[in-house]
Structure 1
Amino acid sequence: MSILVPTVPDSDQLHRDALTVLQPGFVGTEPPPWVLRHLAAGLGSVALFDRNVVDLDQLSALTRALRAENPDLLIAIDEESGDVTRLEAGSGSSWPGNLALGAIDDPALTRDVARELGRALAAAGVNYNWAPTADVNSNPRNPVIGVRSFGADPELCARHTAAWVEGLQSAGVAACSKHFPGHGDTAVDSHHGLPVIDVDLDVLRARDLIPFQAAIAAGTKAVMTAHIMIPALDPKLPATLSPTVLRDLLRAAPADGGLGYQGLIVSDAIEMGAIADTFGMGEGTVLALAAGADAICVGGGLADEETVLMLRDAIVAGVRAGRLDEERLADAAARVRTLGSWGRISAQGERPEPDLAVGLRAARRALRVVRAPGRVAPPVSERPYVASFSDEPNIAVGDVTPWGVAGMLADRFPGTRTREVSAAEATPELLDALVGELVAEAEGRRLVLVVRDAHRYAWMSAVLSRLVAARPDAAVVEMGLPQSEPVGALHIATHGAARVCGLAAVEVLTGQYGAIA
């Protein structure tokens, strides 16, 4: 039972509108009673994460139960494919992520991948996806975007963002292009702090806004805001809370210097540190709505009724105090309901089965393979030694989803030895001993070294360099952003850590598939 008691009945229109603009998550694989109760009282959206998904049959039953309370319900999921997957968190994604698609640079293929992903989501009753990531990854050391971006070139990101939007929405699932006005040039993860992008407006327009313009032209149903500070736009408020960013830039007509977007504007998760630790969740929600946001994402971390009621009551109090115009709230709620109606109508009619094979075909094309001159790298044919190196994943990716090639090789070759290596084992004082251990353990076996964003971690680069020097025949698989020079007798860049990217790499390692050299 909630510890917060509403002061007026839930049927009150103000309270209904306040509930409608929230997009909360919840815990469990069945709808909690409090969620069903608030759906009947006006809640317009719910958000699903990996904690809500067991398999497609269970997910379909869950979405049917939710929609029984509100046929126009927006059922959201954070399913980017690639490294960020909620649909297949337990196994890894059947579709490569954005960086892999950008490396291929075939917009038709990107459209196909997004369409098949959309068909899988639609078949499970999901009609709203917080994707694609439209950010231009202009900072290669970005701690939270990286492989989630199509790349560092604005025009490349633009054409693939548009293709992804078109493909997903052709399957009846609303796209939500993120993170406006661009999270690619940050060195801080907004889950933990407030990033500042100190560039002028000309750079912003020539770089970061280009993919969002393409997304809007492609008809993206929603745009998600970024919890970032851009002093050239607003020196006081982050983008999510800034009327200058949301109203004067995103909403305003092109003739007035804006992008002319008329669809749904949704905040990034309001409980993220960039907002919660600076303005507070309740205050941040009121400011975001007043600035022009139409919906508030919450519940990736705080997924309980108390959070929903706290935010609802903060919105109501903001209206009654004159800090949030009631017409602005009503307009936001109407936009949510309009998109919900689109989702219901789009779900009608025939639903083709998704073609899962397109994901592996795309992952194969994304591989970049370099074979070192003069070094022999025969196919792995028996019991290799696989060492995997990874730092802490960011919150968006999470620590649930498996990655790498160790398990796949172990399945093929019983007796394979595997080891996971962390930063704590590779301090300068321990480095010599660690390298010696790994070389000794791998003696008499093919050595496969698997890394993720090696360029971002000095310890990882140091271990990799020492191991390749000791074992020049080593094969290296980079499953993050391939910024470092290729090393090893065989170097495979997968451009992401989706399951299909690992499968494609294993095909090359074992000589089953000849990739691009």
Structure 2
Amino acid sequence: MPGFSGPRLPAWLAEELADGLGGVCLFGSNIDNPAQLRELTDAIHAANPNAVVATDEEGGDVTRLHHREGSPYPSMAYLGRLDDETLTETVAAAIGAELRAVGIDLNVAPDADVNSNPRNPVIGVRSFGADATVVSRHVAAYTRGLQSAGVGASAKHFPGHGDTATDSHVALPTLIADAATLDVRELPPFEAAVRAGTLAVMTSHLMVPAIDSQWPTTFSPAVLGELRSRCGFTGAIVSDALDMAGASAGRGVPAAAVLALAAGVDLLCLGNDLTHEQVRRVRDEILDALDDGRLATDRVFEAAARVGALAEGVRWLRASGTAGAPTPPALTPDGFWRRGPVPPMTAPLLLRLGSPASMAAGQTPWGIAEHLTAHVADALPGATCLTVDDIDALPAILGEHRDRPLVVQGRDLNRVEFLRAASAIVLERRPDALMVELGWPDHDGPARIDVVTYGSGRAAALALIQLLADGSG
């Protein structure tokens, strides 16, 4: 399941699909608008009707369909905080209906990680919460809603990426948890996804020494065996992208593909922007592994059968589901955490502290900034949006706007060094500032947090504008 460059299907990829390639994974660079996307997915399915077309459309900070303007849907963390399973199911059904309309078969969601580590650099607001029971209920609700619209779900990142402090895009994390902790914290959300009928489960690239001290999950028959035996999953196991450092650093994508297949992965997500030559190398390595005994023929045919069953499962969902979906209510500040009452703002300075996006989310508009100028002007006349990436520029900006209400926004204020330092400068000079956490809150850090939105996408930003204009009483 390779990614590729551009909004049109390359001739080489059409040929590979016609020759039986299992599917493709679409990223923001492949998507311009709904009409173009439907044309692209139609071309993929024309080349191979059984190809699985996948993408990451979680809602909140991770969006591919809305990468240009930000997601209109709330994050999973926001939904978990509200703890309304009907709302979660409705949101997922709406996402599913939108994906179905543009020809997407598989949504690489929901996130079934329990975000027990507030310093987690890659999960955070993508998780429904830090409590396994809450996460399990909402993973099941999201799965039901998504698949009711005719799009397959892929719960991720098995067996749980929530208690880590390393991003597997850039290194290999280790999940330090004993078997008892795995049983009560990490695995229940995946069991809930299986009971809800998820068509697929995605692996994580992390070490789980309580089960296997030698191989990361994606290459571990022992860890993947837990998904089959403990969770009772019989569907397709999908790898996280094999171009991530947690999988391919020091070995390369082709070798990682062989290890993943041999361990029990059925569908290989290779990564983004691949070339024909890179895909050929993966295929050639698999053929070599079949010849030299590293890979059993039966295992490859088993994987192919499960991918075929995944495609058939999507067709069944579409035949039995509904083409439309209820429109979820607009996100409101009701799900925000607030330290205390928030007064209505008059002509505030809306200061956004430069906050790097995770590689999972990519570059999308976030927070209240220039991309929402029209909404700000309507709700907060006289407000000014500024983004600061240089800490040396901060004192002068604070001095220039010393007489205005100040709202400071950042993602992971107590995790990112720049944000901690910038917050300290702000609070020293403007203790009256309203400090808004757009990411996962770490209330034990040095930066004071006044409001938590549980997401930085468009829906969260619009609700924050509403809160600043109306106040919270």
CA distance in 1, matches of 2:243, 2:447: 43
TM-score by length of 1: 0.86
2:339 matches 1:370: yes
2:463 matches 1:463: no
SS in 1 for 2:287: helix
Give runs of aligned pairs for residues 261-410 of structure 1, distance below 5 A.
Answer: 261-300=233-272, 302-348=273-319, 352-356=323-327, 358=328, 360-361=330-331, 363-371=332-340, 378-382=343-347, 384-399=348-363, 401-407=364-370, 410=373
The one-letter code sitting in structure 1 at the alignment partner of 2:11 is: P
The one-letter code sitting in structure 2 at the alignment partner of 1:394 is: S
The residue that corresponds to 1:246 in the other structure is: 224
Task: Quote how far apart the aligned CAs of 1:197 are.
Answer: 1.6
CA distance in 1, matches of 2:97, 2:461: 23
The residue that corresponds to 1:214 in the other structure is: 192
User: Which residue of 176, 184, 192 maps to 2:154?
Assistant: 176
Task: Quote how far apart the aligned CAs of 1:486 are.
Answer: 11
User: Residues 22-73 of structure 1, C-alpha deviation per residue, up to 9 Å, x if partnerless?
Assistant: x111111111111111111001211111011111111111111111122222
CA distance in 1, matches of 2:90, 2:12: 38
Task: Quote how far apart the aligned CAs of 1:355 are.
Answer: 4.5
CA distance in 2, matches of 1:406, 1:196: 36
The one-letter code sitting in structure 2 at the alignment partner of 1:250 is: L
Task: Quote how far apart the aligned CAs of 1:488 are.
Answer: 11
User: Residues 350-404 of structure 1, C-alpha deviation per residue, up to 9 Å, x if partnerless?
Assistant: 8544545x2523x5432223336xxxx642343x3221113322110112x0101
User: Which residue of 125, 142, 163 maps to 1:164?
Assistant: 142
Q: 1:470 to 1:25 in 2, by over 3 A?
A: same
CA distance in 1, matches of 2:89, 2:8: 32
Task: Quote how far apart the aligned CAs of 1:484 are.
Answer: 2.7
CA distance in 2, matches of 1:28, 1:472: 47
User: Residues 118-161 of structure 1, C-alpha deviation per residue, up to 9 Å, x if partnerless?
Assistant: 01100111110111110111111111111111111111111111
Query: Do the aligned residues in 1 keep the contact of 2:105 with 2:152 (CA within 8 Å)?
Result: yes
The one-letter code sitting in structure 2 at the alignment partner of 1:405 is: I
The residue that corresponds to 1:510 in the other structure is: 469
CA distance in 2, matches of 1:355, 1:485: 39
Query: Do the aligned residues in 2 keep the contact of 1:476 with 1:487 (CA within 8 Å)?
Result: no
The residue that corresponds to 1:86 in the other structure is: 64
SS in 2 for 1:337: helix
The one-letter code sitting in structure 1 at the alignment partner of 2:70 is: G
Query: Do the aligned residues in 1 keep the contact of 2:257 with 2:282 (CA within 8 Å)?
Result: yes
Query: Do the aligned residues in 2 keep the contact of 1:150 with 1:156 (CA within 8 Å)?
Result: yes
The residue that corresponds to 2:232 in the other structure is: 260
Q: 1:35 to 1:435 in 2, by over 3 A?
A: closer
SS in 2 for 1:371: coil
Q: 1:277 to 1:103 in 2, by over 3 A?
A: same
Report the aligned-residue RMSD: 2.2
The residue that corresponds to 1:10 in the other structure is: none
The one-letter code sitting in structure 2 at the alignment partner of 1:390 is: G
Query: Do the aligned residues in 1 keep the contact of 2:388 with 2:394 (CA within 8 Å)?
Result: no
Q: Which moved more, 1:188-197 or 1:408-417?
A: 408-417
CA distance in 2, matches of 1:269, 1:284: 10
Query: Do the aligned residues in 2 keep the contact of 1:96 with 1:359 (CA within 8 Å)?
Result: no
Query: Do the aligned residues in 2 keep the contact of 1:129 with 1:176 (CA within 8 Å)?
Result: yes
Unmatched tracts of structure 1, length 5 or more: 1-22, 253-257
CA distance in 1, matches of 2:460, 2:21: 38
User: Residues 174-215 of structure 1, C-alpha deviation per residue, up to 9 Å, x if partnerless?
Assistant: 000001111111111111111112221111111111111111
The residue that corresponds to 1:418 in the other structure is: 385
Query: Do the aligned residues in 2 keep the contact of 1:359 with 1:500 (CA within 8 Å)?
Result: no
Task: Quote how far apart the aligned CAs of 1:481 are.
Answer: 0.9
Give runs of aligned pairs for residues 6-25 of structure 1, distance below 5 A.
Answer: 23-25=1-3
Query: Do the aligned residues in 1 keep the contact of 2:365 with 2:371 (CA within 8 Å)?
Result: no
SS in 1 for 2:98: helix
Unmatched tracts of structure 2, length 5 or more: none
Task: Quote how far apart the aligned CAs of 1:505 are.
Answer: 0.5
The residue that corresponds to 2:96 in the other structure is: 118
The residue that corresponds to 1:4 in the other structure is: none
Give runs of aligned pairs for residues 15-164 of structure 1, distance below 5 A.
Answer: 23-164=1-142
User: Which residue of 393, 396, 406 maps to 1:447?
Assistant: 406
Query: Do the aligned residues in 2 keep the contact of 1:174 with 1:221 (CA within 8 Å)?
Result: yes
CA distance in 2, matches of 1:409, 1:341: 42
SS in 1 for 2:358: coil
The residue that corresponds to 1:479 in the other structure is: 438
CA distance in 2, matches of 1:349, 1:166: 13
Query: Do the aligned residues in 1 keep the contact of 2:199 with 2:313 (CA within 8 Å)?
Result: no
SS in 1 for 2:61: coil
Q: Which moved more, 1:450-459 or 1:495-504?
A: 450-459
Q: Which moved more, 1:158-167 or 1:275-284?
A: 275-284
CA distance in 2, matches of 1:296, 1:84: 21
Task: Quote how far apart the aligned CAs of 1:450 are.
Answer: 0.8
The one-letter code sitting in structure 2 at the alignment partner of 1:398 is: G
Query: Do the aligned residues in 1 keep the contact of 2:110 with 2:156 (CA within 8 Å)?
Result: yes
Q: Which moved more, 1:129-138 or 1:462-471?
A: 462-471
Query: Do the aligned residues in 1 keep the contact of 2:437 with 2:449 (CA within 8 Å)?
Result: no
SS in 1 for 2:303: helix
Q: Which moved more, 1:451-460 or 1:221-230?
A: 451-460
Instruction: Kindly name which structure, 1 or 2, has the bigger radius of gyration based on alpha carbons.
Output: 1
Task: Quote how far apart the aligned CAs of 1:313 are.
Answer: 1.1
CA distance in 2, matches of 1:225, 1:345: 24
